[in-house]
Structure 1
Amino acid sequence: MALCDRCQRINVLEIILQSVPPDPSRLADGWTHSDTYASLRSSAVTCSLCSIFLGNDPMNQKVEIDDDDCVKLLPFTRERWPRDESSARHGVPLAGLEVKIGPKGKNAISSVKHVPIWTENDSPEEIRQFMMSRPCGPVGDETIIKRWLRACLRDHPGCRIPTPGVEGTVDEEAVKLPSLVIDIGSAAPFSDPFLVETQGRKGRYAALSHCWGSGKATRTLKGNLRDHMTRIPMGELCANFQHAVEISRKLGFQYLWIDSLCIIQDDGAHWESESAKMAEVYSHASLVLSAANSSSADEGFLKSRRPLKSVTLPFRFLDGTALGHFTIAEQTSDEIYRDDFRNDVEGGPLAKRGWTLQERLLARRNIFFGRDEFHWECRSARWSESTDMRPIRYVDVSAGLAYFRGLPLFGGHDKQGRSQLLNDWYMLVLEFTKRSLTKKDIDMLPALSGMAKVVESAFRAETHTVYCAGLWSHDLPRAVLWKSFGSESGNNTALPGPSWSWISQDARIFPAREEADAVIDISNISWDVALAGTDPHGRVAQGTVTFQGYIKEVPSIKLIHTEDSKRSRSTPYPLSNALVYDHMSQQIGAVVLDDPSDGRVFSQKLYAVPIRHLMSTFQSVREIQALLLREADEGAYRRIGVVDMMGSNANDDHCKDAPFAQPLQVFFYDARKEMIRLV
C-alpha cells in the first residue's frame, strides 16, 4: 500500500518539539496526524502506515473511542521524555512513537498505542545516536555476532583475565584445548565434522550450552568413538548441534566443544575426569553459544523470526534536509515493553537447567540465541541485537550472579568480604536448586563443581576453608541450618549424600546466611568427607560433621496440615510444616521438616541441637535456630529439619548472660553437652 500525504510528512524532530507541554500540569500535546479517528480508520484502508497506527492492539480492544477523537503522535523513550532536537546527544535515544487518541482540546486520553522505530546499523551517526533500536537480521546472519566479538576482543581487557582457580592462562589465539574437541573445518563448510584428541594442543574454540530435554542428543559412546574420530555425519547430528556447527563455522572457529560428543557418555572414568574440567572448558572458550530458546536437543535454536509489518521513511531535520532513513513497525504493547534479554535469557528453557548455571557464569563471552534476536553477555557488557551495542541495564538475581566473573575483587578483603562471598555462594545454591537436573543422584555436585573451584580460590586469599559436599568448613556447623522448600511433586525423594548437606534433598533450598549471627557455645568442630570419585568438588560417597554442643530430646512434634502444600514452594522463604512442644505441651518452636511425608519423624525419638542466636524482626526477642535430629546407627544422628525457637526479651536482666532466653532457658536447662556426630 502507498502512504497518505500526512504520513509522508512525518518528521520525528517536529513531533518532539510539538510534544513538550507548555504547562507541566498538562499532558504533552503532540503532533496532529489525523483530525479525527474516523479519518484515520478510513485512511488505513489504503495507507500502510495509518494501518499500523490503527492496529489491533489487544490493550485497546475494549476501549471506547469516538469518531471525532483526534489522533496525535508523541515520542517515547525507555528512560525519560526527550525535550529537544539534541536529546539524543544527551543520552535519551528514542524507542518509538506513541499514538495518542483523545477528545480535541481536552487534557484527556481515550487510547494510547506505542509503535517501535529503528534505524539501520549503517545509518549516519546522527540518526544512530538519535534512535535506540536496530533491526534484527536474518536468523542465520552472523554479522552482529562478529561485530560484538571484535569489540570485546579490542575494548575489554577484563574479558581476557584468567578466571581465579582455573588452570592455564588465557591467550585469545592459543589456549589449551579440551581433551576432545570437534573439528568442524571452518575452511570447508560442507565437510562432516569429526572428533580430535588434542593431547595438549593449543588453539581457539567455541563451546555449546544447551538443554538435552526430551530430544535425542547425539552422543559419543565407547561403541562409536572410533567412528566419531573419523567422521560425524552432519545429517546424524541433532538440530542444536547442526546449528552450533553452522554458526561456529561462520564465525571462523575450527574447533567446537559439545558435552555429549566430547565426553564419552558410557565411560564412567572419562565422564568423571572431564566433568571435573568444566571450569576450564567454559572459561577458556573464546565464545559460548547458548541455545536460549531451545528446550530440547532436536529442536534447534536458529528459528525463523516472526515477521513485522513495517514502513520506512526518510529522516529529515527541521529545515527539511533528508539524511538516511528510519523504520516504523507494528507491535503490541506487550511486545514493545517486553524485556527481550530478560525474557530470552533469564526466562528461557536454558535458565531452568542446572548444568547451565555454571556454564553461563564461567564463560568469558556468551551469545544467547533468543526467540527473535541474539543477545551478548561478557564480563564487561550486555547487548541485544535490537539495540546493537547500547548497554543493557537492569537489576535482578542473575545480574547479581553474573558479577562472580569479577571474583578477583574479593581477594585480600577482610571478614566482611569473606562474609559477602559466602552469601554469594549460598545465593548460587538458591538459584541452582531452582533448576532441574536429569540425574540428580549423579549430577548434583558435578554440575556446580566449576563454580566451587572458583569460589574456593577466592576464599583462599584470606581464610583456610575446605569444600564439604556443597558447604564450606569454616562455616560449620552454622552452614547445616539450610531449609528445604520441598519437592515440586510434594513427595520428597532422598538423594545420595549426608543428611546435613542440602545435596541430600530433591528440592529448592534456602541456605543459612548472615554469617555474623552468634553461634551457641559450640566447639571441637571437625568434618570428614569421602569422595565418590576423583573430583574434589564432585560427588561424595559419605560424610560426617562432628562438634561439641548441647542436645535435648523434643517431647512432642505435630504436623501442620496446609490446604495448599504447593504454596510453600512458591514463597520467598520456606514455610513451617510442623510445631514442637515441651513437656507442658507449650509450643516452643516451628519446624521446617526436610521430608514431612517421612512417618519416622513421628515415631522415633527426636532431638534439638541449638546452633545459633537470631534477633527477631522486633530486635528485642532472642530467637534460636536448632537442628532437629533423629538417631542413626552407631551413636550418630541424621538431620531431619530446622527448628526456629522463640525466646523472651533479650534485654531482660535475668537472661542477658544466659545461653538461652526464656522459656528456652527452662527447656534447655538439663540439656546434655556432648560430642554430636552428624551423618
Structure 2
Amino acid sequence: MSSEMGKDHDYHVDPGLVLNALEKIRLANRLPSVGNTVLCLCFIRQCEVDEELLTTTTIRLFTDSLPYANGEEALVPLGMVVSLDPDLKNIGDLVRTWMEDCRLNHLECNAPEPAVEARLPTRVLDIDQVHLTGQLRLLLTNKIPGKYIALSHSWGGHQPAKTVKSNLVARCTGFPLSELPPTFRDAIAVAIEMDIRYIWIDSLCIIQDDLEDWKREAATMGDVYLHSYLTIAATRAANSEAGFLGPRSLTHTADLSGMTLEAGDSTAQNIYACQRRSFANDVDDGVLNRRAWVLQERVLSPRTLHFTTHQVYWECWQYHQGEDLEYQYLGVMKKEAYPVRLAPNSLLCNTPTHSSELPWKWWYLSSEYSSFSLTFQTDKLVAISGLVQKLESQLHTTYMKGVWKELLHLSVLWSARTEDLEYLPLVGAPSWSWASRNGPINFMQLYDYDPVIDFKIHETDGASSSESLFVNGTLAKLNPRLRISDVRWSDPVTDQTSFPPELDRFATRYRSVQNHEGETLGWVTLDVDIKSQNEFSDLFWVLVAKDSHSHEDTKTSTATSPHEAGQRHYCLLVQENEDGLYKRAGVSSIGYAQYLDSCNKSVLIA
C-alpha cells in the first residue's frame, strides 16, 4: 500500500498520514491480505518527473478478544490498546505475569541452585507506611536478606533530592513523600503496586557529600542492580522533575471491528490496527539509555521495566515485550547485544565457572559506551566498573585504566570515529587507552592475529597514574613514496564493501593510505585532526599486531617472506611532544611490511 506525502512535507512519518491511510482501509470495509498480520505503508513524494520513496512504516493488526471458545484459531494475534495515561493496575498485572514466567522458565535471568541469597543494599527506602501516613524512611539494612526494586534514572543536569550529612538523621527518622520529585514518587507508586516494600534510589541511599561513603557504595553499585528483584527505568524522564507516569505520546489506533479478512470468510471481532512501536527507538535511543552510568545498570539488572514516551516495555535476558503485547521484531534482545557471561545465571552462583576468553561482545559494548554522555568526565571508568569487576573475577585478568592487561594488543587497537576527540587528563588514563578521550570510538575486529611480542606494558613505581603506565614499542616511519588521503566517511549501512573492513560496526571518519598510482594500501584514523600532508611526517608507526596466516610452505628467510608480506599490519600512530614524551595520535592498518621503514628505536609511549 502506498500513501502520498505532501510536496513540502518533512522526511518523517506524520501520525496524521498514518491515520488517513488507516481510515481508507476502514472505509474499504475489507482488509488486504495480511500475511503475518502486518501491513507496510510506503509514503511517496510525487515529483514532476517521477515518484520518490521517502519512508515506510509498519502497521500491526491485533485483537483484544480471547481465543474463541470453540477452539477456532484466532485470525490475528492477541494485543492491547495502549492508553494515553499509564494504567498502574493493568501494568502491575502484566508485570506479575512477565515476572512469573521469567522466574520459572528463563535460565539466563536466574541464579542456578544453590543460589547466592539476595541481600538488601547498605541503605534502602522503606515505603511500607506510605499509603497510610504519606511517610517513608531511609533504612540502614545491615545487609539482611530482602526483596527490593532499584530505580535507574537520569540526573540530566538537574540535581535530584539527595541525602547529605545534614539531613541523614531526618531521612532515617521519616519524611513525607511530598518532598520527593515526580520521578521518585512515580517509582514508589510502581513499587507499591508491585507490593514491594523496599526501593533503592542512588541519590537518596548514598550520602552524596560523604566522599568515603560515595566511593564505597559506587564500588558495589553493580551488585545493587544485579541482586534487584526488578529495575524500574525512567526511560522517558530527562531528570528527576520530569516524572514518567504522565500522559504519553499516543500511538493512534484504528478500530477495524466487523471487517472481513481476505484470509477467511468469517468476520473477526474487535480488530485493531496501529503503528508498530520500536523497542530500539523507544528504549535504546531513549533519553535514559544515552547516559553512561545507565549501561551497567541495564546490563546487570535481571529484569527491567522501561517507562517510555509511548508505552511500557519489559526486558530480561530471555526476551522483551511491550505493554501492547507485541514481542516480535522489537529489536536486538539483551542476550544478543551483551555478553551472556554477565547474566545472573553466570554471576550468581556459588562456584562460578572461570574462562580466560573475553567475550567479543565486550568490544562492541565498550564502543557503544564511549558514545554515551557523562556529567563528570572523571566518572568515565567508575561508571562501568561494575561490569569490569564481574569480568575480572571470571577471567582472572586485570583492567588497567581502560585496558585489559592480558589482552593488551586488542585493547589498544581502537579507532576514533571522528577526528575531534577531547583529551581527558583528569581520568588519569594513558594516551593509548580509549578512556583518555571523550567521544565515540570503535574497536578493531581482529579474530586471528599475531601479537607483536616486544609491544608490552611497562609499569613504573606507583602505576595508579597515567605518568607511570607505559607501553613499550618500536618506531617506524611510513615510506615517503606513499601518501595519506583527505578525510572520508565509512558507512557500514550502505557500503557493501565495508571499508575499512576492521571497523564495519560504526560509521567512521578515516583516511586511506595510497601509493603513487592511487591504489589503496591501508587506512588511518586520527584522534585529533591534521590539516596538511606535512603534519603526517611527524607521525611514527608502532607495530602492534599482524594478521595470522598458515605458515605451511613458507621458507625461512632473513628477508621479508611472501607470507609476512601478505599480512596486514596494525599499528599505533604516535607523536613526540615538546616534553620528549611519545603519545598516541591514532591507529592504522596497512597491507605490507615494506611500506614501513624501521627507525631501530624502542621507546616508551605514555
TM-score by length of 1: 0.67
Give the percent of matched residue pairs that are identical in Structure 1 and Structure 2: 24
Aligned to 1:471: 403
Q: Does residue 434 of the first structure (1) align with residue 434 of the second (2)?
A: no
Distance 1:309 1:645, change over 3 A: closer
Cα gap change, 1:527 to 1:596, in 2 (>3 Å): same
Q: Which amino acid in structure 1 is aligned with residue 510 of structure 2?
A: S
- 2:604 aligns with 677
Measured in 1, the distance between the counterparts of 2:390 and 2:509 equals 32
Unmatched tracts of structure 2, length 5 or more: 2-13, 42-56, 493-499, 550-562
Paired AA for residue 445 in structure 2: R
Could you tell me which residue of structure 2 aligns to residue 85 of structure 1?
Answer: none
Deviation at 1:375, TM superposition (A): 1.2
Greater mean alpha carbon deviation, residues 114-123 or residues 297-306? 114-123
Aligned to 1:351: 289
The answer (yes or no) to whether the contact 1:303–1:371 under 8 Å persists in 2 is no
- Tell me, what secondary structure is at the counterpart of 1:202? coil
CA positional deviation for 1:474: 1.4
Q: Does 1:622 align with 2:554?
A: no
- The equivalent of 2:196 in structure 1 is 253
For 2:82, the aligned partner's letter is: C
TM-superposed CA distance for 1:76, in Å, is 2.2
Query: What is the CA distance between 1:526 and its match in structure 2?
Result: 4.2
| Equivalent position of 1:21 in the other structure | none
Q: 1:201: Cα distance to partner?
A: 1.9
Q: Which residue of 1 aligns with 2:106?
A: 156
Aligned residue for 2:558? none
1:76 and 2:31 aligned: no
Shift of 1:301: 1.0
Provide the rounded CA distance (Å) in 2 between the counterparts of 1:319 and 1:491: 59
Q: Distance in 2 between matches of 1:157 and 1:528?
A: 45
Shift of 1:300: 0.9
Cα deviation, residue 290, structure 1: 0.8
One-letter amino acid matched to 1:443: D
Question: Pick from 404, 413, 424: which aligns with 1:494?
Answer: 424
Report the Cα offset of residue 368 of structure 1.
1.0
2:524 is matched with which residue?
Answer: 591
Q: How far is 1:626 from its partner?
A: 1.8
Taking structure 1 as reference, are residues 129 and 59 closer, same or farther at Cα in structure 2, changes over 3 Å only? Answer: closer
What is aligned with 2:413? 481
> Number of residues paired by the alignment?
536
Q: TM-score, normalised by structure 2?
A: 0.74
Larger radius of gyration: 1
Cα distance, 1:319–1:342 mapped onto 2, change above 3 Å: closer
Work out whether residues 559 and 577 of structure 1, in 8 Å CA contact, stay in contact via their aligned partners in 2. Answer: yes
Shift of 1:319: 13
Shift of 1:192: 2.0
1:541-568 alpha-carbon deviations (Å, 9 max, x no partner): 6551343x43235698998665999999
Aligned with residue 470 of structure 2, among 530, 541, 545 = 545
Q: How far did 1:510 drift? A: 1.0
Structure 1 residue aligned with 2:11: none
Question: What RMSD in Å do the two structures reach over aligned CA positions?
Answer: 4.7
* Contact 2:398 2:405 (8 Å CA) reproduced: yes
Q: Confirm whether residue 282 of structure 1 aligns to residue 225 of structure 2.
A: yes
Deviation digits for residues 110-151 of structure 1 (CA, Å, limit 9, x no counterpart):
xx9957332157986867795232233651232211222233
Deviation of 1:492 (Å) = 2.5
The 2-side partners of 1:563 and 1:552 are apart by: 25
Cα distance change, pair 150–524 in 1 and its aligned pair in 2 (3 A): closer
Contact 1:588–1:645 (CA<8 Å) still a contact in 2?
Answer: yes
1:677 counterpart letter in structure 2: L
Q: CA deviation at 1:181?
A: 1.0
The answer to whether the 8 Å contact 2:543/2:572 transfers is yes
Q: C-alpha displacement at 1:257, in angstroms?
A: 0.7
Q: Structure 1 residues 224 and 554 mapped into 2: Cα distance closer, same or farther (>3 Å)? A: farther
Which whole-Å CA distance do the structure 2 matches of 1:129 and 1:321 have between them? 9
Q: Per the alignment, do residues 526 and 424 of structure 1 end up closer, same or farther by CA in structure 2, a change over 3 Å counting?
A: farther
1:399 pairs with one of 326, 336, 359: 336
User: d(CA) in 2 for partners of 1:56 and 1:554?
Assistant: 55
| 8 Å CA contact 1:96, 1:117 repeated in 2 | no
Check 1:149–1:454 CA distance in 2 against 1; reply closer, same or farther (3 A cut): same
| Deviations, residues 228-272 of structure 1 (Å, cap 9, x unaligned) | 222343222121111001101111111111111112222222211
CA gap 1:212/1:187 in 2 versus in 1, 3 angstroms? closer
Q: Match for residue 83 of structure 1?
A: none
2:543 to 603, 610, 613: 610
Contact 1:214 1:296 in 2 (8 A): yes
**Counterpart residue identity of residue 284, structure 2:** E
CA distance in 1, matches of 2:577, 2:186: 52
1:298 pairs, out of 241, 246, 250, with 241
Contact 1:287 1:367 in 2 (8 A): yes
1:119 aligns with 2:59: no
Q: Is the partner of 1:160 in helix, strand or coil?
A: coil
- Measured against aligned partners, the alpha-carbon deviations of 1:260-305 in whole angstroms (never above 9, x if no partner) come to 1112222222211111112210000000001122222211111224
What SS is found at the alignment partner of 1:136? Answer: coil
Q: Distance in 1 between matches of 2:39 and 2:485?
A: 53
Q: Is the 8 A contact 2:319 2:333 kept in 1?
A: no
In 2: Cα distance, 1:383 partner to 1:227 partner: 41
Describe the superposition over 1:15-50 as per-residue Cα deviations: whole angstroms up to 9, x where unpaired: xxxxxxxxxxxx9xxxxxxxxxxxxxxxxxxxxxxx
Looking at structure 1, the residues matched to 150 and 183 of structure 2 have their Cα atoms a distance apart, in angstroms, of 12
1:218 maps to which residue? 161
Q: Residue 446 of structure 1 corresponds to which residue in structure 2?
A: 382
Range 499-508 or range 115-124, more displaced: 115-124
The 3-state SS of whatever aligns with 2:452 is coil
Structure 2 residue matching 1:302: 3-state secondary structure: coil
Partner residue in 2 for 1:576 = 510
Question: 1:364 aligns to what?
Answer: 302
Whole-Å Cα distance in 2 between the matches of residues 189 and 148 of structure 1? 29
Residue 424 in structure 1 maps to residue 361 in structure 2: yes
Candidates 172, 194, 208, aligned match of 1:265: 208
Alpha-carbon spacing, 1:126–1:638, altered in 2? closer, same or farther (3 Å): same
Structure 1 residues not aligned, in runs of 5+: 1-26, 28-54, 81-93, 99-111, 533-539, 648-660
| Equivalent residues of 1:544, 1:677 under 8 A apart | no
Are 1:178 and 2:125 matched, yes or no? Answer: no
Instruction: Say which SS state the counterpart of residue 476 (structure 1) adopts.
Output: helix
SS at match of 2:135: coil
Which of structures 1 and 2 has the larger relative contact order (alpha carbons within 8 angstroms, sep 6+)? 2
Q: Distance in 2 between matches of 1:75 and 1:368?
A: 34
**What is the Cα deviation at residue 481 of structure 1?**
2.0
Amino acid corresponding to residue 451 of structure 1 in structure 2: L
8 Å CA contact retained: 2:61, 2:76: no
The residue that corresponds to 1:89 in the other structure is none
SS at match of 1:551: strand
